[in-house]
């Protein structure tokens, strides 16, 4: 089996420790970080967002080391300018209208085109790249892996609040991001050629200027030989980020193994998979998803256990059993959304929710 390398990107909130509101870091974190982290730290469209990304990691243990190091570095850099760092899919009460856009030609162009959809896109996610051999394998993987996106998403849900309100969703981040074009679960493609022709057509007709403007929940990266998972909320803890990344890697390895045994994974239409994505956004791990093979509703927790069984024969070869089995801890203690809501139910104070998120962000470092 090939080495399925990993790369992990995390988007953090920069917080004013007095007000607990989002506060612009005015690039001070990014500029300070570049001296040590080079291109591993960068600004995002809103000035209160900072993103870090690992180098290419050969295994999940190396990924954990880099994710932990980068989190600690960002926390330290923020501390030097009097700020805190928080990891969640949305801020509990901050208003996007109060958050300035980062001056940058790329972001200016996005805001000019997408207007209020872009300005209001104050959300935070975690992206995971898994290395693949070539684009043909990549499209095959993308087709099959789409089925598992709602399962992974349910485990990552960590954005129950928006602009000071409890939304009723475990992930409201995804509802905000859906205002962008070319988002959500992609449909399947018959080949890399068909996929590339689709991108060429969009470029030719002025829809996009390059493949990075395709913001699907799972995409074949336009420039690297990677499958990129983009569906997850930003997790609270490093342990959760690593568990989710380990599951993503294991699914790629499992689908690859099935393909080499001439066993194809059944493909489902986007319209069906979207039913499960909505359920995951609304209920997290506490709801039900549809088992399309059985054509019936099944508790999400049961399907996640089935997912763990599905990848069980590849995790030892990947050396990721411990990391994958941390999913059981998430099922026991709840997702980030569940834990944020617990704090709010106990305190009725969103500032204490922010304090909790800040505390969880540094847990285990």
Domain ranges of the chain: 6-361
Residue 26 has pLDDT above 70, yes or no: no
Kindly indicate the confidence band of residue 106, based on its pLDDT and cuts at 50, 70 and 90: confident
Averaged pLDDT, 310-327: 98
Q: What's the pLDDT score for residue 102?
A: 79
Q: What's the pLDDT score for residue 226?
A: 95
Residue 180 has pLDDT above 70, yes or no: yes
- Look at 108-117, 272-281, 287-296, 300-309 and tell me which has the smallest mean pLDDT: 108-117
132 touches 225 (CB < 8 A): yes
**CA-angle at 360, arms to 15 and 57, nearest 5°:** 95
Residue 232 has pLDDT above 80, yes or no: yes
Which residues sit opposite 12 in a β-bridge? 50
* Share above pLDDT 70 across residues of the chain, in percent, rounded to a whole number: 99
pTM, rounded to two decimals: 0.95
Question: How confident is the model over 10-25, as pLDDT tens digits?
Answer: 999 999 999 999 998 8
Residue 87 has pLDDT above 70, yes or no: yes
- The CB density around residue 180, as the number of other CB atoms within 10 Å, is 15
Tokens for 289, please give them. Answer: 């998803």
Q: What's the pLDDT score for residue 40?
A: 83
276 touches 150 (CB < 8 A): yes
- The CB density around residue 297, as the number of other CB atoms within 10 Å, is 12
**Which uninterrupted H or E stretch holds 299?**
strand 296-299
The tally of CA atoms less than 13 A away on the side-chain side of residue 360 is 24
Residue 345 CA: distances (Å) to CA of 167, 169, 222, 352? 14, 15, 44, 11
Residue 266 has pLDDT above 90, yes or no: no
Per CATH, which fold does 6-361 belong to? Answer: Creatine Kinase; Chain A, domain 2 (3.30.590)
Question: 355 or 117, which is more confident?
Answer: 355
Which residues sit opposite 171 in a β-bridge? 159
Residue 234 has pLDDT above 70, yes or no: yes
**Average pLDDT of the residues of the chain:** 93
Between the CA atoms of 164, 167, 172 and 177, what dihedral angle is there, to the nearest 10 degrees?
A: -70
**CA-angle at 89, arms to 83 and 344, nearest 5°:** 80
């Amino acid at each position: 089996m090939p080495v399925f390398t990993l790369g992990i990107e995390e988007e953090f909130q920069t917080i004013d420790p007095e007000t607990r509101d989002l506060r612009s870091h005015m690039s001070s974190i990014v500029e300070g970080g570049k001296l040590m982290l080079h291109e591993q730290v960068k600004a995002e469209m809103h000035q209160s967002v900072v993103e870090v990304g690992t180098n290419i990691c050969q295994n999940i243990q190396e990924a954990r080391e880099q994710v932990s190091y980068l989190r600690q570095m960002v926390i330290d850099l923020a501390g030097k300018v009097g700020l805190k760092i928080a990891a969640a899919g949305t801020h509990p009460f901050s208003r996007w209208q109060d958050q300035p856009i980062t001056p940058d030609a790329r972001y200016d162009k996005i805001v000019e085109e997408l207007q209020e959809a872009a300005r209001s896109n104050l959300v935070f996610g975690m992206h995971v790249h898994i290395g693949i051999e070539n684009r043909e394998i990549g499209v095959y993987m993308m087709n099959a892996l789409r089925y598992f996106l709602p399962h992974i998403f349910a485990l990552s849900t960590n954005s129950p609040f928006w602009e000071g309100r409890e939304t009723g969703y475990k992930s409201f981040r995804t509802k905000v991001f859906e205002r962008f074009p070319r988002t959500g679960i992609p449909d399947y493609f018959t080949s890399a050629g068909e996929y590339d022709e689709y991108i060429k057509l969009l470029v030719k007709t002025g829809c996009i200027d390059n493949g990075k403007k395709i913001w699907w929940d799972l995409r074949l990266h336009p420039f690297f030989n990677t499958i990129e998972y983009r569906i997850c909320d930003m997790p609270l803890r490093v342990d959760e980020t690593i568990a989710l990344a380990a599951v993503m890697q294991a699914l790629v390895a499992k689908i690859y193994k099935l393909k080499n045994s001439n066993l194809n994974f059944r493909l489902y239409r986007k319209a069906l998979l979207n039913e499960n994505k909505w359920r995951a956004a609304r209920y997290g791990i506490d709801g039900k998803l549809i088992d399309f093979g059985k054509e019936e509703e099944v508790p999400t927790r049961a399907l996640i256990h089935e997912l763990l069984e599905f990848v069980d024969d590849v995790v030892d070869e990947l050396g990721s059993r411990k990391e994958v089995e941390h999913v059981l801890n998430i099922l026991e203690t709840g997702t980030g959304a569940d834990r944020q809501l617990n704090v709010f139910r106990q305190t009725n104070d969103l500032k204490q929710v922010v304090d909790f998120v800040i505390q969880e962000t540094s847990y285990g470092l």
